[in-house]
């Protein structure tokens, strides 16, 4: 399936991290070089995002090819924030070059000009490494770290700035992203500023592929997630006049992001709203935990609205596609 999304610009304090970039040093501080490297191309970028209860983990692989002479360059992985200069909680940062562990130096940011280009984003610091790019050969850089979620009101967020890849030669041929949710968070959005395809791997891992990426310095990818289930409106909860599955039809692009267990809960929430008494103990206990759930001895599917019937059919169709 293909989707169009647009850059998510939120003015609250939050933190994002970016890809390996070509940088220069001045007095112990660092900045992105303003022009592209004319010889070294970032061929691909593979990003694995694992979502845990209180943090997320990033595993990233960058593949470069050097069309010029052998050269040693400073390569920096920047830590960003929205509208704040507080150092963010990035943890356990590790990096390798061609599978060899590389020492990184932590340096402060230098360029105010670049921050103007980034709008509300500001660079807190750089993780700097020296990389030897061999002539007419590939270089593989890997980065791994853990970080806290950003808080955006009712939602948490993971954000990744891939636009700093614009410092390398030409376009990025491919960006491949895998998202694995190890929690009961509901995923609500994945945002990219260009067309991309999204699929599922082994049913539960989301795969996103973007080809021929021409990026600007402030381009980001983000994920929004929440403990609030999809049958609720975050601002209002559930009530007779604010029952989401009666008021609207949940789009397939949203259903696609939910796990099989979440689809099961969403499907049965229609029955729960009308007072069905569940025989499955796990469902009964789950909905008993919802303040609005009341058992109706006169329950009948005839009370389902047209929107609820359509939602039920769509959820079942999505569930069947996962089998």
Query: What's the Cα-to-Cα distance from 63 to each of 44, 89, 128, 179, 186, rounded to whole Å?
Result: 5, 27, 17, 20, 32
Tell me which of 12 and 155 has the higher pLDDT.
Answer: 155
214 shares a domain with 174? yes
> Which residues lie below 8 Å from residue 266, measured CB to CB, with a gap of 6+?
229, 230, 231, 245, 250, 255, 258, 315
Q: Would you state the torsion angle of the CA atoms of residues 278, 323, 312, 241, taken in this order, to the nearest 10 degrees?
A: 70
Tell me, yes or no, whether 113 and 250 share the same domain.
no
Distance of CA 198 to the CA centre of its chain: 13
In a domain, 116, yes or no: yes
What pLDDT is recorded for position 17?
Answer: 40
The residue-averaged pLDDT of 124-150 equals: 90
Name the more confident of 20 and 322: 322
Domain closes at, from 226, 257, 289: 226
Domain contains 234: no
Number of domains in the chain: 2
Sign of CA dihedral 262, 8, 218, 12: negative
Residue 76 — very low, low, confident or very high, per pLDDT cuts 50/70/90? confident
Q: Which residue has the higher pLDDT, 75 or 47?
A: 47
Do 173 and 49 lie in one domain? The reply is: yes
Q: What is the CATH number of the domain that holds 300?
A: 1.20.58.1690
Rounded Cα distance, 235 and 223, in Å: 20
| 179 in the same domain as 137 | yes
Between 56-65, 175-184, 222-231, the lowest mean confidence (pLDDT) is in: 222-231
pLDDT value for 24: 45
Does 56 reside within a domain? yes
Q: Is the Cβ–Cβ distance between 183 and 224 less than 8 Å? A: no
Q: Are residues 275 and 176 in the same domain?
A: no
Task: Give yes or no: residues 204 and 316 share one domain.
Answer: no
The dihedrals phi and psi of 78, each to the nearest 5 degrees, come to -85, 150
112 in the same domain as 167: yes
Segments forming the whole domain that contains residue 301: 244-321
State the pLDDT at residue 175: 93
| Position 236 in a domain | no
pLDDT per residue over 153-203, tens digit each? 788 888 887 877 788 889 999 999 999 999 999 998 776 656 677 888 887
Q: How far apart are CA 44 and CA 176, in angstroms?
A: 8
């Amino acid at each position: 399936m293909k989707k169009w999304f647009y850059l998510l610009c939120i003015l609250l304090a939050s933190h994002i991290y970016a890809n390996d970039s070509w940088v220069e040093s001045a007095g112990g501080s660092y900045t992105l070089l303003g022009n592209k490297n004319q010889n070294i191309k970032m061929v691909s970028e593979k990003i694995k995002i694992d979502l845990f209860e209180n943090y997320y983990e990033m595993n990233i692989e960058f593949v470069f090819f050097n069309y010029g002479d052998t050269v040693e360059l400073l390569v920096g992985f920047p830590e960003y924030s929205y509208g704040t200069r507080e150092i963010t909680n990035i943890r356990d940062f590790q990096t390798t070059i061609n599978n060899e562990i590389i020492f990184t130096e932590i340096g402060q940011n230098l360029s105010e000009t670049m921050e103007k280009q980034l709008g509300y984003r500001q660079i807190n610091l750089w993780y700097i490494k020296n990389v030897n790019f061999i002539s007419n050969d590939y270089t593989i850089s890997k980065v791994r770290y853990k970080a806290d979620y950003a808080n955006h009101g009712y939602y948490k967020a993971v954000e990744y700035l891939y636009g700093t890849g614009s410092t390398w030669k030409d376009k990025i041929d491919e960006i491949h992203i895998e998202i694995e949710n190890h929690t009961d968070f509901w995923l609500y959005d994945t945002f990219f500023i260009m067309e991309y395809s999204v699929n599922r791997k082994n049913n539960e891992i989301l795969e996103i592929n973007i080809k021929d990426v021409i990026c600007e310095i402030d381009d980001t990818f983000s994920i929004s997630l929440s403990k609030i289930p999809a049958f609720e409106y975050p601002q209002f909860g559930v009530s007779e006049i604010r029952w989401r599955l009666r008021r609207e039809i949940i789009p397939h692009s949203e259903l696609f992001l939910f796990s099989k267990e979440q689809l099961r809960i969403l499907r049965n929430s229609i029955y729960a709203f009308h007072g069905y008494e569940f025989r499955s103990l796990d469902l009964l206990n789950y909905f008993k935990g919802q303040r609005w759930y009341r058992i109706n001895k006169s329950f009948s599917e005839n009370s389902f609205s047209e929107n609820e019937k359509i939602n039920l059919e769509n959820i079942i169709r999505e569930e069947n596609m996962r089998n």
